[in-house]
C-alpha cells in the first residue's frame, strides 16, 4: 500500500511530520523541500503471514513472521518503490528514495497509518532543477567498481577463477 501526499498543503503537513525544524532550516537540501509529492510505501507483514496460512500455502511452514527466511513484505514494498522511481524517471521527474529515520513513528501516526502496516521510507517526486549543481554525498562519493560488487561463480571464486565484472566469456 502507499500513502500519497501532493500539493503545497499536503507537502507542508508531510514535512512537519517527516523532518524536524533544524533539518528544514538547513541550507544543503532545498530541492528536497520543493518536491511536489511524497509517497510512503507500506509493507504489510500480516497480509503475507495470513496468505501463507491458507491451505494452498500452508506447506511452506511460514506460519508467523519469524518463520520467513527473508521479510518478503519489505522486499515487495521496496520493489514497488523502485518501480515508482523508474516510472518517475521515465516521465522526466526527479525522484528520490530516502529513509524516514527517527521520524517514522511520527509519519505513521500523523498520516493515520493503521497498525500492521510498516512505512519503509519515502519517495519524493518533483520537477528537477536542471540548472542546479548536485551537492551532498552523491556528488562527492565515488561508486565502487563492478569488480568489487559483482562476484561471478560465487562470492569466493574457485581456485583459478577471478571475479571479473563485465560480460562472461563467450558474450553472455
Mean pLDDT of the 66-85 span: 96
Contact 137, 98 (CB under 8 A): no
Contact 10, 81 (CB under 8 A): no
Question: What's the pTM value of the predicted model, to 2 decimals?
Answer: 0.81
Neighbours of 143 (CB within 10 A): 8
Q: Indicate left, alpha or beta for 160 from its phi (over 0: left) and psi (-120 to 50: alpha).
A: left
Nearest in space to 133 (alpha carbons), one of 31, 60, 41, 44: 31
Please report the pLDDT score of residue 32 as a whole number.
87
d(CA 83, CA 39): 12
Please report the pLDDT score of residue 172 as a whole number.
45
Contact 124, 96 (CB under 8 A): yes
Contact 136, 29 (CB under 8 A): yes
Q: How far is CA 125 from the centre of its chain?
A: 13
Mean pLDDT of the 99-114 span: 96
Residue 131 in this model has a pLDDT that exceeds 80? no
Q: Indicate left, alpha or beta for 61 from its phi (over 0: left) and psi (-120 to 50: alpha).
A: left
Please report the pLDDT score of residue 31 as a whole number.
81
Amino acid at each position: 500500500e502507499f500513502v500519497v501526499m501532493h500539493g503545497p498543503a499536503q507537502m507542508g503537513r508531510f514535512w512537519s511530520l517527516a523532518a524536524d525544524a533544524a533539518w528544514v532550516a538547513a541550507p544543503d537540501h532545498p530541492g528536497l523541500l520543493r518536491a511536489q509529492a511524497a509517497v510512503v510505501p507500506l509493507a504489510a507483514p500480516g497480509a503475507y503471514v495470513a496468505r501463507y496460512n491458507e491451505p494452498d500455502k500452508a506447506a511452506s511452514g511460514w506460519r508467523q513472521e519469524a518463520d520467513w527466511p527473508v521479510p518478503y513484505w519489505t522486499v515487495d514494498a521496496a520493489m514497488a518503490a523502485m518501480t515508482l522511481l523508474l516510472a518517475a524517471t521515465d516521465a522526466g521527474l526527479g525522484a528520490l528514495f530516502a529513509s524516514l529515520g527517527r521520524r517514522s513513528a511520527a509519519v505513521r501516526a500523523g498520516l493515520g497509518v493503521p497498525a500492521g502496516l510498516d512505512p519503509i521510507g519515502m519517495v519524493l517526486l518533483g520537477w528537477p532543477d536542471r540548472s542546479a549543481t548536485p551537492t551532498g554525498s552523491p556528488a562527492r562519493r565515488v561508486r565502487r567498481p563492478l569488480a568489487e560488487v559483482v562476484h561471478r561463480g560465487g562470492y569466493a571464486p574457485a581456485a583459478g577463477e577471478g571475479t571479473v565484472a563485465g560480460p562472461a566469456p563467450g558474450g553472455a
